[in-house]
Amino acid sequence: MGYKPLTVSEINTLASRILASEPFLQQVTVVGDVSGLKVHGPTGHIYFNLTDGVSTVACCMFKSYAAKMKVVPEDGQQVKVVASGEIYSKSGRYQLKVFSMEPMGISDQRELFNLMKEKLMKEGLFDPSHKKPIPQFAKSVGIVTSSSGAALHDICQAIRKRNEIMDIYLFPAVVQGSESAKSVARAIQIANAYFKDKVDVLIVGRGGGSASELSSFDEEQVARAVFESEIPIISAVGHEVDYSICDLVADARAMTPTDAGVMVAFDVMEHKRTVNQLMERSTELFKRYFTRKEEQVNLMMERARFRYEKKLMDVEHQLNRLKVLFEENSPQKVLNKGYSVINDEGGPVKDPRQLVEGCQYSLIFAEGKAKAVLSHIKVEE
């Protein structure tokens, strides 16, 4: 009895069903070295091979599972994956569909932290040249945290103690659990996409907790969302002793959520006091300036008055000298010495040859005047 020939699709589908019916292969843990790892841009799926030096198996990890990884392994790194075996019907290729993956030998949270830190540092995400300045006089602040956590209350209370007019926007996020990193990153992206022109600065964080509870802020997707934010970000994760990847990428770090509120909110009353002090100082400076100018004007007027009085005294002295000179050379002075003046109709007679017998002349003496008729003339040489 012969069997009906199978098509390629049919044989691949049959093999896939046989493989899928094997319970052991539905969730198997496999250890191997990563090679040829690629992240497919449009979908976010990860494709790579696992090898033990002898054999190789193709692997696929869908975006929904890849997003939960704290660290994306690099080629050559040994990893442990939890996966199911399957045959991809279209190509007939056997592969592992990976649900989770973690580097081997890294069970401690701190080691995962250091691995992520080293990776992001190489990419320049911590470079100070990328840090944006925190506004000194921000008018509004956005807060990325849990809407029911103590951190939100602490931040708002710290802001309102210093500034009652600052606008506060809440971008609620899950800050603990498997979906928290995705939620925090999404909240940051929403703030940038729709509130970039309304929010001057963002506070991203949560209150204190254990290392595992704070681990969301060590994940790569949060770090990249912080790095790509156009709005300056202050990281406020846990307490002073808690250091996160988010702290290293952010533009500034606050030791606690309360400190973050203090950092973003300028103190209105202190600002008013500063303005009043500046006004008082300015008034005092103006008073000193005008007093100094008044003194300068008075000094200039005093000097001008002195010069005027000296000039007046010089003129008066000159007039007195002229007066004395005039008095010493006045006609009256000459007449007082016994001289007299003879005038004819043309004025003073200066030459005896001008005299004419029988003519009348006016005579001027020191003590009076007289008229005389000349009867006889004798001119002496």
- In Å, what is the CA distance from 219 to each residue of 59, 105, 170, 185, 364? 23, 19, 22, 10, 132
Residue, of 200 and 89, whose pLDDT is higher? 200
pLDDT value, residue 108: 58
Residue type, 309: E
Residue 13: inside a domain, yes or no? yes
- Pair 31, 94 in one domain: yes
Q: What average pLDDT does the chain have?
A: 87
What is the average pLDDT across 99-127? Answer: 83
Among 11-15, 25-29, 266-270, the minimum mean pLDDT is found in 11-15
pLDDT in tens, 210-259: 777 888 999 999 999 999 999 999 999 988 888 899 999 999 999 999 99
pLDDT of residue 169 exceeding 80: yes
pTM: 0.54
- Give the end of a domain, one of 73, 106, 139: 106
Residue 73: inside a domain, yes or no? yes
Strand 140-145 and strand 201-206: the pairing is parallel
Number of domains in the chain: 4
- Pair 190, 247 in one domain: yes
What is the average pLDDT across 68-74? Answer: 79
Percent of the chain scoring above 70 in pLDDT: 98
Residue 113: inside a domain, yes or no? no
pLDDT of residue 66 exceeding 60: yes
Q: What are phi and psi of 150, to 5 degrees?
A: -70, -25
Q: How far is CA 7 from the centre of its chain?
A: 70
pLDDT value, residue 348: 84
pLDDT of residue 268 exceeding 90: no
- Pair 173, 82 in one domain: no
Mean pLDDT: which of 66-75, 144-153, 211-220 is highest? 144-153
Q: Which string of DSSP letters, residue by residue, matches 19-84?
A: HHT-GGGGSEEEEEEEEEEEE-TTT--EEEEEE-SS-EEEEEE-HHHHTT-SS---TT-EEEEEEE
Domain assignment of residue 39, given as a range: 8-106
Residue 102: inside a domain, yes or no? yes
CA–CA separation, 37 and 101 (whole Å): 13
pLDDT value, residue 372: 82
pLDDT of residue 109 exceeding 70: no
- Pair 281, 355 in one domain: no
- Give the end of a domain, one of 266, 283, 313: 266
- Pair 198, 92 in one domain: no
Residue 136: inside a domain, yes or no? yes
Residue 90: inside a domain, yes or no? yes
- Pair 235, 309 in one domain: no
- Pair 71, 15 in one domain: yes
- Pair 240, 179 in one domain: yes
* 189: helix, strand or coil: helix
- Residue 50 belongs to domain with CATH number: 2.40.50.140
pLDDT of residue 272 exceeding 60: yes
- In Å, what is the CA distance from 57 to each residue of 28, 30, 35, 160, 205? 14, 10, 10, 59, 41
Residue 36: inside a domain, yes or no? yes
Among 84-93, 104-113, 145-154, the minimum mean pLDDT is found in 104-113
- Pair 131, 214 in one domain: yes
Q: Report which DSSP code applies to 86.
A: E
Sign of CA dihedral 149, 152, 158, 160: negative
CA–CA separation, 299 and 258 (whole Å): 60
Q: Contact, 240 vs 255, CB < 8 A?
A: yes
Among 135-149, 280-294, 339-353, the minimum mean pLDDT is found in 339-353
pLDDT of residue 2 exceeding 70: no
pLDDT of residue 106 exceeding 60: no
What tokens appear for 6 in the block? Answer: 């199978």
Residue 1: inside a domain, yes or no? no
96 CB contacts (<8 Å, ≥6 apart)? 30, 50, 57, 58, 59, 60, 81, 83, 84, 85, 86
pLDDT of residue 107 exceeding 60: no
Question: Where on the phi/psi map is residue 225: left (φ > 0), alpha (ψ -120 to 50), or beta?
Answer: alpha
Residue, of 98 and 211, whose pLDDT is higher? 98
- Give the end of a domain, one of 211, 246, 266: 266
